[in-house]
Amino acid sequence: MENFSSMIDHTLLAPQSTREAIKAICSEASSFNFKSVCVPPHYVRLAKEQLKDGPVLVCTVIGFPLGYNRSGVKAFETKEAIKEGADEIDMVINNALLQDGLYEEVSNDIQQVVKAAQGRTVKVILETCLLSDDMIIKACECAEKAGAHFVKTSTGFSQSGATSSAVALMKKSIPQTMQVKASGGIRTSDNLREMIEAGATRLGTSASVSITQGLSNHSKSTGDY
């Protein structure tokens, strides 16, 4: 149970997010030992204050949700987020560059964020529901070349979210030094297990508490997990 909790980025990125809601997810993340909270850049400082020196990390999103920001803007966003306390960065890939086959520019876009992150974990959001398998593979190659640490399935703001097939393809398309984060539409413990079995080592969800409680109940009744 504890191992699953430590794989979860407890997420609140809805446009109607409030200070009180951010405080609530920080409290939940501490109680359930989640890996991080993933919050909008505006709330990074607040989340850091709430979590203080505890083990839960603060993650934020860059170029969110479309990824069309200029690379310099993404780098600036990243630097500002770090100043305010961000421990991890989830950046959105520029799918326009990817669709046009401008892979060097895609890599450069990611690399500027990686450099601005100063060694902190960078996850590259591909928005897999918009991409062919070949484009997913190319995006993974660009993320690897740029020095990113993770590739991530989705923003949760597009046509659909994570699928086990996309996770499996991403896992096969990266070296062992990189990892896969599944996010978008993970609402149940069955969803979570499916993504882990496909190769995800990090899960982004706003349903973290109900999923964790479901896993706990399952464990007590069956002895599994």
For every residue of 96-145, DSSP letters joined together read HHHHTT-HHHHHHHHHHHHHHTTTSEEEEE--GGGS-HHHHHHHHHHHHH
Please say if 9 is a catalytic residue.
no
Please say if 190 is a catalytic residue.
no
Q: Per-residue pLDDT for 174 more than 60?
A: yes
Q: Are 92 and 67 in contact (CB under 8 A)?
A: yes
Q: Map residue 181 onto helix, strand or coil.
A: strand
Report the share of the chain in percent with pLDDT over 70: 95
Per-residue model confidence as pLDDT tens digits over 20-66: 999 999 999 999 999 999 999 999 999 999 999 899 999 999 999 99
Longest dimension (CA), the chain: 52
In degrees to the nearest 10, what's the CA dihedral of 156, 95, 128, 67? Answer: -20
- Select which of 87, 90, 123, 138 is catalytic: 90
**Domains parsed from the chain with CATH numbers:** 2-222 (3.20.20.70)
Q: Per-residue pLDDT for 2 more than 50?
A: no
pTM for this entry? 0.94
Q: Per-residue pLDDT for 1 more than 70?
A: no
- Select which of 35, 74, 152, 171 is catalytic: 152
Please say if 152 is a catalytic residue.
yes
